[in-house]
Amino acid sequence: MTRKLLMCGNEACGEGAILAGCTFYAGYPITPQNELTAYMSKRMYETGGVFIQAESELAAINMVFGASCAGKRAMTSSSSPGISLKQEGISYLAGCELPCVIVNIQRGGPGLGNIAPAQSDYFQAVKGGGHGDYKTIVLAPASVQELLDYTILAFDLADKYRNPAIVLGDGLLGQMMEPLQVKRTENRVQSTEKPWALTGCKGRKPNIIRSLLLGEGVLEEHNKKLQAKYRLIKDTETRVETVNIKDSEIILVAYGSVARIARAAMEIARADGLNVGLIRPITLWPFPDKAIADACAVAKNVLVAEMSAGQMVEDVRLAVGDKAKVEFYGRMGGGIHTEEEIFERIKVL
Amino acid sequence: MKKKQDSNVVLSRSLRDAENHYCAGCGHGIIHRLICEVIDEFGIRDKVIGIAPVGCAVIAYDYWNFDVAEAAHGRTPAVATGIKRMRPENIVFTYQGDGDLAAIGTSEIIHTANRGENITVIFVNNGVYGMTGGQMAPTTLAGQKTNTTMLGRSLRRDGYPLKVLEMLAVLPGARYLERVSVHSAHETLRAKRAIAKAFKMQIDGKGFAMVEVLSMCPTYWGMAPIQAADRIKNEVTTFYPLGVVKSC
């Protein structure tokens, strides 16, 4: 049985967290994700969870660190400038192998930028973002429905791998309203055993959660362990949607909101007799480089569209190598592509 | 490497039998022990979750025999908030130095106290950054020479030493605030009583309790341990008076 709802993306993300069994949320006001914070304050009250409006983004991410130490499902959310402030905490969470979910409803930058949609935090999300060698799992929803679904998935993956997971949306997805379906999911919450959690040492040896490893070679061993985990995640959890790629000479690559616009551009191009396909990475890290490389067995041209000056395109170029020509079309600072603009770029490839 | 146990020393159960890394005459070892004795006397070892700071006490978990999390510099009270809200049945305390609590973590300590979080804070004030080599702390006294105040702390250039307890006292959420010292046996016993009260406040669900412990740093004060203890008595306590700042 399913429930049908009409919500904005920010609220759908919050409902996803509740369905995933999130019992702790800490956040700080910033546009365009404020509906999510407001929604969590209401739903945590209704479900008996904990909501804290923190004094800063730093405090919010560290409260999440604490809740995660306690073995509970915890989330924080923000938009680009606030996510920059959380990077210190994210590095500690990754170093301590603590699961949690961080939502970034991106806006234009750099600096205070504006409050319009953007995808210019891609590097920050997929390359680590804070100090040290680490990776966060990054999911890129492209609809209000997916903001709900991928938030649930983010909690499951975070717990499975003891790693922070990021839901990377943008102001367009966060603000727009779409109908969505919520599947009846009694007992959906997977009970993950967390023997490492801090619960008080009754009947066991004390648990220590730390990222400082001073002994000679100890930190290198810890890093090797983390890298092995990241390889496992890459092998197991890479997700991608492909459309019309088997026989297409031209491949579009786009994620999130832009993937929907690119899909419309693809339809226009195909109606015009052009053989165009679409690759939409669902996980931005791990990046679906194999799917992109495979598509280039046929495709000779790849067009990457992002609401940035060109960030994901670097990963696409690494995946493509010299198998095809890669072009880029970006909009920046809150600019949003139209399908006609992308179609014009396809025509001149 | 384990040292042969002196038969006169009775180890607290919450204190591990380990050689510590602290300098001769440092107060941290004493304060660790006071906390562990209090935990044992309340019989709460298996319920305690400690938060270690960044600073000299960062590896406190090598000495404490209970669950511990290590927090980022200054974020200690935020981490404690997350843990305590999720596990109100546990006893959660932070252990913080003056750089951690009074400089980089000022925002966190004020707002944690202001929310009236039911946690215990042990604030070790020795007036310098020890771990990083003796730089000026917010609590460094006027005229005090440090690694970054070669000619002594200048009030005009460096600002005034920060009295955190007095600052927090105006917040309704802060329920119990006391300043103690470990420079003598007498004061150490008083310090233990204050720490016990701060834990009892939490056990009874009475809200935010914080004990500031004046502590010696002979290494970065450039003094012998005895001189350092005398300096607390003669100099430090004249600016940071001992006693209860607030109790309600």
Give me the tens of pLDDT residue by residue for chain B, a chain 248 residues long.
444 555 566 678 999 999 999 999 999 999 999 999 999 999 999 999 999 999 999 999 999 999 999 999 999 999 999 999 999 999 999 999 999 999 999 999 999 999 999 999 999 999 999 999 999 999 999 999 999 999 999 999 999 999 999 999 999 999 999 999 999 999 999 999 999 999 999 999 999 999 999 999 999 999 999 999 999 999 999 999 999 999 99
| Residue pair B182/B215 in contact by the 8 Å Cβ criterion | yes
Q: Which residues of B fall within a CB distance of 8 Å from A210?
A: 52, 61, 68-70
Question: Measuring CA to CA, which residue among B22, B243, B199, B39 is closest to residue B126?
Answer: B22
| Residue pair B85/B112 in contact by the 8 Å Cβ criterion | no
Convert the pLDDT of each residue in A5-18 to its tens digit.
999 999 999 999 99
pLDDT of residue A177: 98
Going by pLDDT thresholds of 50, 70 and 90, the confidence category of residue A76 is: very high
Query: Phi then psi for A66, rounded to 5 degrees?
Result: -65, -45
Q: Classify residue A10 as exposed, middle or buried by CB count within 10 Å of its CB (0-12, 13-18, 19+).
A: buried
| Contacts of residue A204, Cβ cutoff 8 Å, sequence gap at least 6 | none
Q: Would you call B83 and A66 a contact, using CB atoms and an 8 Å cutoff?
A: yes
pLDDT of residue B11: 73
pLDDT of residue B12: 80
Cα Rg of chain B (Å, integer): 17
Preceding amide of A32 cis, omega within 30: yes
pLDDT of residue A185: 62
**pTM recorded for the entire structure:** 0.96
Q: Would you call B85 and A24 a contact, using CB atoms and an 8 Å cutoff?
A: yes
Average pLDDT over residues A100-123: 98
Going by pLDDT thresholds of 50, 70 and 90, the confidence category of residue A259 is: very high
Helix (H) or strand (E) holding B78: helix B76-86
Count of residues in chain A: 349
Q: Would you call A88 and B90 a contact, using CB atoms and an 8 Å cutoff?
A: no
The sheet carrying A208-209 orders its strands as: A208-209, B67-70, B48-52, B91-97, B120-125, B208-214, B174-181, B243-247
Q: Which residues of B fall within a CB distance of 8 Å from A92?
A: 71-72
Strand, helix or coil for residue B59: helix
Average pLDDT over residues A191-201: 92
Which tokens hold the place of B30?
């004493």
Average pLDDT over residues A215-232: 97
Angle at B190 between CA B188 and CA B195, to 5 degrees: 95
How many angstroms separate the CA atoms of B247 and B244, rounded? 7
Q: Classify residue A202 as exposed, middle or buried by CB count within 10 Å of its CB (0-12, 13-18, 19+).
A: exposed
Q: Which residues of B fall within a CB distance of 8 Å from A89?
A: 72, 75
Reported ipTM exceeds the 0.90 cut: yes
Nearest to A65 among B45, B48, B82 (CB): B82
| Residue pair B121/B96 in contact by the 8 Å Cβ criterion | yes
pLDDT of residue B2: 45
Q: Strand A325-330 to strand B48-52: parallel, antiparallel, or no bridges (unpaired)?
A: unpaired
Question: Measuring CA to CA, which residue among A10, A12, A1 is closest to residue A180?
Answer: A12
**Closest Cα in chain A, distance from residue B148 (Å):** 26
pLDDT of residue A9: 98
Query: Phi then psi for A280, rounded to 5 degrees?
Result: -120, 105
Residue type, A285: W
Going by pLDDT thresholds of 50, 70 and 90, the confidence category of residue A33 is: very high
Percent of chain A with pLDDT strictly greater than 90: 96
| Residue pair B83/A66 in contact by the 8 Å Cβ criterion | yes
Q: What is the mean pLDDT of chain A?
A: 96
Substitution target from A55, A68, A69, A211 for chain B, most B beta carbons within 10 A:
A69
Q: Would you call A52 and B81 a contact, using CB atoms and an 8 Å cutoff?
A: yes
Nearest CA in chain A to B44: A200
Convert the pLDDT of each residue in A263-296 to its tens digit.
999 999 999 999 999 999 999 999 999 999 999 9
pLDDT of residue A186: 54
Convert the pLDDT of each residue in A288-302 to its tens digit.
999 999 999 999 999
Q: Strand A164-170 to strand A137-139: parallel, antiparallel, or no bridges (unpaired)?
A: parallel
Q: Has residue A143 got a pLDDT over 50? A: yes
Angle at A169 between CA A166 and CA A174, to 5 degrees: 130
How many angstroms separate the CA atoms of B103 and B126, rounded? 13
